[in-house]
Amino acid sequence: MPENTFDHSLPYKARGRRDFLTTMAALAAPVLITGSLGAAPVRAAGRGDRAAEANRAADTNGADMTIQQVIDALLADIPGAPFPNTVDTIKAGDPHQPVKGIVTTMFATQAVIAKTIALGANFIIAHEPTYYNHLDETAWLGNDPVFKAKERILKEHGICVWRFHDGIHAHKPDSVRMGVLQALGWDKYYDANDPAMLTLPGMPLKEVISHLKERLGIEHLKYIGDEGQVCSKIVVSPGAAGGKGQIGQIERYQPDLFICGELNEWETSEYVRDARYIGGKIALVVLGHSVSEEPGLEWLVPVLNQKIPGVKVTHVVTGDAFSWA
């Protein structure tokens, strides 16, 4: 029933599923023009001097900025950043070169790199690792041809890759979460006191699944639950928070539905299976990791447009790696 309680005006509705590539400048909504990374759509977050200083970059021509200055401008909005221990490091290239164009994405895949080259951009902001492990360690890869080919093409084209993971999640509010909620039209249900928990007008799980697939451009997903079960209390946990984190949220909020990006199959899914067996009404949806966080990176585009005027910023959808049979 409550299909019409959602705002269908958002960009995700119309886009293609696999290979969407768009310049999002046109989508920079008034809610984003403070330049504060992701704060405005919900409420104005306090920003300190670092943020104010970084935002003054907006008065200059972004084309005069280095990639490092772009990074600093983003980090200026993150409480506690730069972090002493973080995976948000330069994965390839020289951050002290002038920024020529920016791509935001989930993974700096070979396909994303090819599009970056075609766009004439030299800076990829990727949410996830470049070299197939969380810490982007490369010693273990040795002369692996897949690793070497990526390293080589990035070097040949002078492309800098920076990971923006810990920082974007540490923003208040978590900008990945807000990007996802906005894409779903669910940001109106957001409560800063309980960021993960939404209380929506109840609707059957089947409708929730259709909505998730349509709005997030997902072809297939996995779930546990009855399609007819009414879901009102919904926890949204993009990415892969790990079993203890995911189960901890289920314990805390007792939701009708827990939505995550990825899980370990000996953790959260087994917990939910047991919970349902003893009468619990919880359902579980697993979106897929990349597609579960993609809107958070897309959401950076208008932020960057405001901070770095004169530099083209493009979100390139990484997309799900899988086919389903």
Question: CA 32, 171, 219, 213 torsion: positive or negative?
Answer: negative
Give the shortest CB-249-to-its own copies separation in angstroms: 12
Give the shortest CB-24-to-its own copies separation in angstroms: 24
Rounded-to-10 torsion of CA 128, 295, 196, 46? 90
- Closer by beta carbon to its own copies, 156 or else 251: 251
Give the shortest CB-7-to-its own copies separation in angstroms: 23
Cα–chain center distance at 14: 19
Q: Is 80 exposed, middle or buried (0-12, 13-18, 19+ CB in 10 A)?
A: exposed
Spatial distance between the Cα atoms of 11 and 183, rounded to a whole number of angstroms? 7
Give the shortest CB-163-to-its own copies separation in angstroms: 11
First to last CA, the chain: 31
Binding site for its own copies (CB under 8 A): 107, 109-111, 114, 128-129, 132-134, 140-141, 144-146, 149-150, 209, 213, 220-225, 240, 243-244, 247-248, 251, 261-262, 264-275, 277-278, 280, 286, 288-290, 321-325
Give the shortest CB-68-to-its own copies separation in angstroms: 25
Residues 313, 316, 321, CA angle at the centre, nearest 5°?
160
Spatial distance between the Cα atoms of 174 and 196, rounded to a whole number of angstroms? 10
- Closer by beta carbon to its own copies, 72 or else 320: 320
